Each structure stands twice: as C-alpha cells, then as structure tokens.
Amino acid sequence: MKPVEISKGVYSVGAIDWNIRDFHGYSTERGTSYNSFLIVDEKTVLIDTVKKGFEDQLIDNISQVIDPKKIDIMISNHTEMDHSGGLPRVMHAIGEQKPLYCSKMGFKNLSQHFRQQWNYHGVENGEELNIGSRNLTFLETRMLHWPDSMFTYCKEDGILFSSDAFGQHYAGFEMFDDAVGHTIMAHAKKYFANILMLYASKILKLVEQVQASQLQIKTICPDHGIIWRKDPGKIIDAYVKWSRQIPEKKAIVVYDTMWHSTEKMANAIAEGIYLEGVAVKPIHIRSSHRSEIMTEVQDACAIVVGSPTLNNGMFPTVADTLTYMKGLKPQNKIGAAFGSFGWSGESVKLVQAELEAMKFQIIEPGARIQYVPDDAGLASCVAFGKQIGQAVNSRNDE
Ligand code: FEO
C-alpha cells in the first residue's frame, strides 16, 4: 500500500494487516489496518504509529513522502499497542529527542509501557499547536477507548484524527467511504458493539460537545479502516443511534446444546417469537463468534439465552458469551433463560442471574425441560417464545 494524500500535504501512511483474524478476542474476518497520518507543513507531524511488526510498511510509506528524519513532532492519540507498538522504531528513525505529544494520561501510560526517556509533552484538553499554516487542537476523549485517548483536530483542513472512534476492522485498497460504499457500516457497527458499547453514554456526551463546539468536520480519519470524507455525518449519526441503544423489534436466541435438546427448545422459542411478528435469529454459540453475537445484541430488544446443565453449572461456552456480553454493558434489553437438563438442572437459574445482573427485564419463569422435549414440551417453548415476542411488541408500542 502506498501513501495516499487525503488533503494537500496530509497523507495516510499506515499499514494494512490483511491476515489478522483474531484481534484480542474479536473476530476480524476482513483483517484490519493500523492508520497513521503524516502532515507536511513548516513543521512535519506524524500522528500515531502501527502495531509492532508493521513498522517497515510505515517507514517505507513515510519515506516515499519525506525523509523520516525531517519529522519534527510525533503525536500519540492513544497508547494501545496497535497504535503505539511502532513508537520505538519511529522515534529511533525520526530522532529520539523529537517532541512526543500525547494526553497527560498518555504520558503516564506510554512512560510505564515503554520505560523510555522520550521528550514527552503532555497536553491539556483544548490545547493548540501551531505547525506553520495549520493549528492542531488536542481534544481529550477519555475512555474512547482508553483513559489516555484523545483526538487531534486540524481546523484548516477540517480533519478530525479520531483514534479508535469511528473505526472499523477492515482491510482494503478502498481507503474512503465513497470507494467502499454502504457495506462498511456493518463493520463499523461490529466495531462499536465490541469495542465501544460500554462507553455509549460518554460517546453521546462527546458528540454533543463536538456539535456544540461547531467544529467544521469535513473528514474523519480513524486509526482503523476507511476514512470518512464523503459523508462524515453518516458515521456520527450512526454513533448517536448506537449510543442511545434504542432496540429494534428483534430478538436473538443464543444457545449451546449437548445432545440437541436445548437446540430443539431454542428453535421452538424462536418460532413463538416469530409468530408474534418479531424478527428473530437462533444463534448456536459454537457456530458464531462471540463478537458476531455481540453485533446482534447491539440492536436486539430481547436476548434469550439457553444452556444445558453440565456438572451442576451452565455450559462453559454460554458462560463465556455472558461474561463477554456483561462487560460491554448492553442497555434496555428484555432477557429470558431456558435449557434442558438431566437431573439437577441449575443452568436456567444461573443464566437468568447473569441476565438480571445486566439489568435486563426478565421474562419469568425461564423454560426448563428434563431430558428430551416431547410435543407438549415444545408447545410450551413456543408459548414461552410468544410471551417474549409480546413483551418486545409492548416495548415498541410504548
Ligand atoms: Fe485500536 Fe484501543 O486500539
């Protein structure tokens, strides 16, 4: 991938990771990119680096524009290693004592992470840096995605360098929204659901602040995926919608099964939900990655979870899914539990406790069937599904 000029003197010089399929537990079936941006002005600035192992692509791209030694200022918007892993190589290439701008928390985190005596400049929220014909403004964005995160905004070009926010795990030669088209929204939604959902209230506040400040944003350059230049408002509006977590008329039935009994229950419950006119999708946990499940959770109204009882507990894959889901703090959901069992049958109670811990509105009692469901058992599951579907409909009628 060659450097791409985004605006006069502003280049995308990062690296594409075509082959990554697991990003700390998130399935990245389309790979990702580690975006880095070069601004050539009276002072030349590099914003963010790449993951360790991708420095050659970065240095090669910079070298096609300018000798890396001519970079005057390094800006680190975020400490996480997919953006800072290349810092040691970059600092060595540009000069170890060139100024390294970051947030105050970034200074603390980078110092602890790298144990290097770099020439840090911890900036205040709103602080400006003149680099010649441009002014860069640093905007603190704590917890988007880490406590150190910040945006860098260039007023003259109307470019927001937004770190993780508005990103997508997507590798492609199409580097802009107008080149890739609407399909990118599915990747952006998955990214939001799995990386940012738990910070939804902060995102809403941030967007309100940005709107109140009347920043002119012509282009958004995130650190992953494509650049939003045709319609940056589209991804901002999507973030507002996703942050509000207003559910759609949709349910998912997430389950695992040992000998297909819980699976039969899942399908019967899904049928009952469907009969109430609610969109529904049964999802076998071992056929779907947890990050795909979380993307479905994002806009679902009802999360119905099924587990057989194993060793007096819930099935391990169900526990994994619920742990992951709970950490991301989905809001405004209806929850229901079900499962088959042989003799002790604790799983439904345990699943329900997890759903309650997420403050879901619980449909009680959960559905339990001993051994293999017969016709009457399946009919009771259809009825349970109808009850869930009616609860979803009543939410939509409110
Ligand atoms: Fe892409 Fe929070 O790092």
Q: What is the DSSP letter of 70?
A: G
**Could you confirm whether 164 is annotated as catalytic?**
yes
Asked if 136 and 57 sit in the same domain, the reply is yes
Q: Which DSSP state fits 32?
A: E
Indicate if 70 and 214 belong to the same structural domain. Answer: yes
DSSP letter string over 133-149?
S-EEEEEE-TTSSSTT-
Neighbours of 371 (CB within 10 A): 12
80 Cα: distance to centroid of ligand 1 (angstroms): 5
Q: Say if residue 216 is in the same domain as residue 266.
A: no
* Catalytic residue flag (residue 80): yes
**Ligand 1 centroid distance, CA of 83 (Å):** 7
Single out the residue in 244, 268, 302 at which a domain terminates.
244
CB atoms within 10 A of CB 372: 11
Task: Look up the CATH number of the domain holding residue 92.
Answer: 3.60.15.10
What share of residues in the chain are helix, strand, coil (percent, to 5)? Answer: 40, 25, 35
Residue ranges making up the domain that contains 60: 4-244
Q: Assess contact for 298 and 197: CB atoms under 8 A.
A: yes
Residues in Cβ contact with 370 at an 8 Å cutoff, skipping those fewer than 6 apart? 340, 341, 342, 343, 345
**CB within 6 Å of ligand 1 — which residues?**
78, 80, 82-83, 145-146, 164, 223-224
CATH of the domain at 348: 3.40.50.360
Q: What is the 224 CA–ligand 1 centroid distance (Å)?
A: 8
82 is a catalytic site residue = yes
Residue bearing tokens 């994002």? 298
Against a cut of 0.75, is the pTM above it? Answer: yes
Task: Count how many domains the chain has.
Answer: 2
Instruction: Tell me whether residue 234 is in a domain.
Output: yes
Both 94 and 207 in one domain: the answer is yes
Concatenating the DSSP letter of every residue in 107-128 gives HHHHHHHH----EEEEEPTT-E
Q: Which residue do the tokens 């601004």 mark?
A: 39
pLDDT one digit per residue (tens) for the chain, 398 residues: 789 999 999 999 999 999 999 999 999 999 999 999 999 999 999 999 999 999 999 999 999 999 999 999 999 999 999 999 999 999 999 999 999 999 999 999 999 999 999 999 999 999 999 999 999 999 999 888 899 999 999 999 999 999 999 999 999 999 999 999 999 999 999 999 999 999 999 999 988 888 787 789 999 999 999 999 999 999 999 999 999 999 999 999 999 999 999 999 999 999 999 999 999 999 999 999 999 999 999 999 999 999 999 999 999 999 999 999 999 999 999 999 999 999 999 999 999 999 999 999 999 999 999 999 999 999 999 999 999 999 999 987 76
